[in-house]
Structure 1
């Protein structure tokens, strides 16, 4: 049966959940502002797609590399403390970025006499190297914020409320991914998007003029981290993780986390399966969708497809949060493999569509299935892993997708130079169906229960 209405109402009255929900929504909306404003700033400043890609990479690489260390520190010092520090670090970095964007001062000439003038070059402090350094710092802070943010919920609310709590929070995250870019676009349109690039004399570098909208976006994200840190200070953990002797080093703690996952056969099986899927086909959607959109109608089509997929994901998350056990017609492992097989069948025809509505229909269905399973996966991990190992387990889980998916994307881009798009999607879908079938037959995944 689905979770009764009084139980969901009780969750919304739970003080810890209310503070986590408020802070999470504020922080997620702020994150979307920076995700839009930072690439736009770099592109306006340089006009160079290589620089744009490098900034994105500098945010992604430290996040993927250090997320395992972040998970170990979460277990050693508590997720609440690490999350609080990561929020303050993000706020400080974004405050610096906001001030640098505002501090764009062009060269100007002072008349000091009838026949004499003096050109004063005021070099702006916002340089590409400064943006690179700040982007690296933001990615590094996320490496500690992500595992702590995904580990705090089991320590803040009752276990029986995890499914509904994850559904609400992750559903709101999906909504923020839809609403955040619209808010960012409005800020840039009203306050200025840095569209006037001024070239300075005397060898001074370019500066982005009329960039108040960009500064406002960064400033609001900075404020969102401060407000969410304040809401986090209101959370009182129900129980501290069990006291265990601290390993001699952080790397040893990371090794203990990997060993814990390896010894737990269901965890090990699922993590290996997710790693294989992420590595083999994770890049097909990231790289293939822009190419598909260009073949249909261009950038507007990509936005439409991503929006439809996001809406489907939101519907699936809502179904998982509200439907609960009533919609689980099989064990966790069997349901996971069945949904992956269904997604593979939906991916196969994507490259052969010749109309936007056909691609949108497929992306909507894929989003619904992915959103429904995403809630179940997070809840299953949170219920299975001991609290004192939660940070490391969640960091390993997130590393699978943040570390392996970019490798898959690079391989997919190379593969598209040799095979047509239709074969890429057809092959990727068949690989996913085959992975699910092989896992069902040859691994214990089908016997993994929801408990």
Structure 2
């Protein structure tokens, strides 16, 4: 069962990784407008955010396994529509926007459903959740390296429209593999309304550890998004070294694979608090060095440190969410968390862009590093960290509050 869950997750991620390379290329080929890809992403941003919130309720209402299957099938259909429309009338910017929005409406609930399904799979298979979470993070890191490389190779041989069929196939296969999981795994947990978010808010407000972990995740994205998406590209283009950006991203992924694999091997046997603090400090060391924009060798070393820390942090987060969120509201709580992460990324990019224009790249990098240090200090001083160990009282079910 664990192998099937991990395989389905990897297939879905791989398909998205291929689409992430092939789609912008297709947009540029068909429209000839370099800004079109950004316009499509902006048009999908609000629907994606709404899908994250509403999708959590859908997951709780219809079941984690069922929504995971349905979302992958719907994503496959949205991608398959691109080559079909291209053959029928020809793809225009309008079609790209419509189908891009349609795809975003399914991708985020699917992601929430797979995340919420992990504790069910671990419990049903009798596998420690720490091991499953570490394996999932490690495999995800491998996919993030291999997927874009495969997509680039395919684009060198085939038309981008043809390459998209690889994403369709991966999403459909992911749905088929998930459908083989026992029907009782990840079943529906109630008949709540899609927008009934009160119980989810109550869980987040009432559990300081969950709230702390959520703030750490949001803070990490607020820093990584402008670093990876703006500061490093601007800095490296100015140095005429744009290829280094790919090496930095690869180094982060390689570090993440190592950190997540180590956690999968020993995470259930060591102190969770010590692991969390060590991973957080490792991530911080890498983040600060990256934000200071040092020479390339230091950039790559810092990127590996970021990955080494983020791998265990992401895995520990999965474990804590599985342990502490009541099953009846797991989808809604995770949906709210995903919505917060999705919302903060463009805000961080916008803020960093304005700062770069106003004070320059390096001063902005120092401010970004300072922001992350504030998040880390607040986290380490939070009394909630004392509840990290597994021998703790799990949050009461939302209906009992």
TM-score, length-scaled by structure 1: 0.79
1:284–1:424 CA contact under 8 A, matched in 2:
no
For 1:26 and 1:346, the matched residues in 2 are separated by: 30
Gap change, CA 1:318 and 1:60, over 3 Å in 2? farther
Counterpart of 2:138 (choices 171, 194, 203) is: 171
1:388-408, Cα deviation, whole Å (9 max, x unpaired): 221112212222221112111
Match of 2:230 in 1: 287
For 2:378 and 2:175, the matched residues in 1 are separated by: 45
1:349–1:426 CA contact under 8 A, matched in 2:
no
Counterpart of 1:265 (choices 208, 214, 217) is: 208
Match of 2:383 in 1: 444
1:379-423, Cα deviation, whole Å (9 max, x unpaired): 111122122221112212222221112111111111111223222
Match of 1:55 in 2: 40
1:57-91, Cα deviation, whole Å (9 max, x unpaired): 23443222221110111111101111121122112
Q: CA deviation at 1:279?
A: 4.5
1:86–1:144 CA contact under 8 A, matched in 2:
yes
Q: Which moved more, 1:347-356 or 1:30-39?
A: 347-356
Between structures 1 and 2, the one with greater helix share:
2
Q: CA deviation at 1:330?
A: 5.6
Match of 1:72 in 2: 57
In the alignment, is residue 417 of structure 1 matched against residue 330 of structure 2?
A: no
Gap change, CA 1:87 and 1:242, over 3 Å in 2? closer
In the alignment, is residue 186 of structure 1 matched against residue 126 of structure 2?
A: no
Secondary structure of the structure 2 residue equivalent to 1:374? helix
Q: Which moved more, 1:269-278 or 1:429-438?
A: 269-278
1:101-139, Cα deviation, whole Å (9 max, x unpaired): 345xxxxxxxxxxxxxxxxxxxx4321111111001010
Q: Which moved more, 1:346-355 or 1:90-99?
A: 346-355
For 1:414 and 1:307, the matched residues in 2 are separated by: 27
Name which one, 1 or 2, has greater alpha-carbon Rg: 1
2:285–2:305 CA contact under 8 A, matched in 1:
no
1:342-388, Cα deviation, whole Å (9 max, x unpaired): 43343334354553112111111111111121111111111221222
Counterpart of 1:214 (choices 155, 160, 180) is: 160
For 2:55 and 2:320, the matched residues in 1 are separated by: 21
Gap change, CA 1:426 and 1:329, over 3 Å in 2? farther
Match of 1:9 in 2: none
Q: Which moved more, 1:74-83 or 1:43-52?
A: 43-52
The alignment's C-alpha RMSD in Å is: 2.3
Gap change, CA 1:306 and 1:280, over 3 Å in 2? closer
Match of 1:28 in 2: 13
TM-score, length-scaled by structure 2: 0.89
Match of 1:140 in 2: 105
Q: CA deviation at 1:261?
A: 1.6
User: Runs (4+) of structure 1 moved beyond 6 Å?
Assistant: none
Paired residues, number: 388
Q: Which moved more, 1:307-316 or 1:427-436?
A: 427-436
Match of 2:179 in 1: 233
Q: Which runs of 5+ in 1 are unaligned?
A: 1-15, 104-123, 192-212
1:62–1:143 CA contact under 8 A, matched in 2:
no
1:350–1:422 CA contact under 8 A, matched in 2:
no
Match of 1:91 in 2: 76
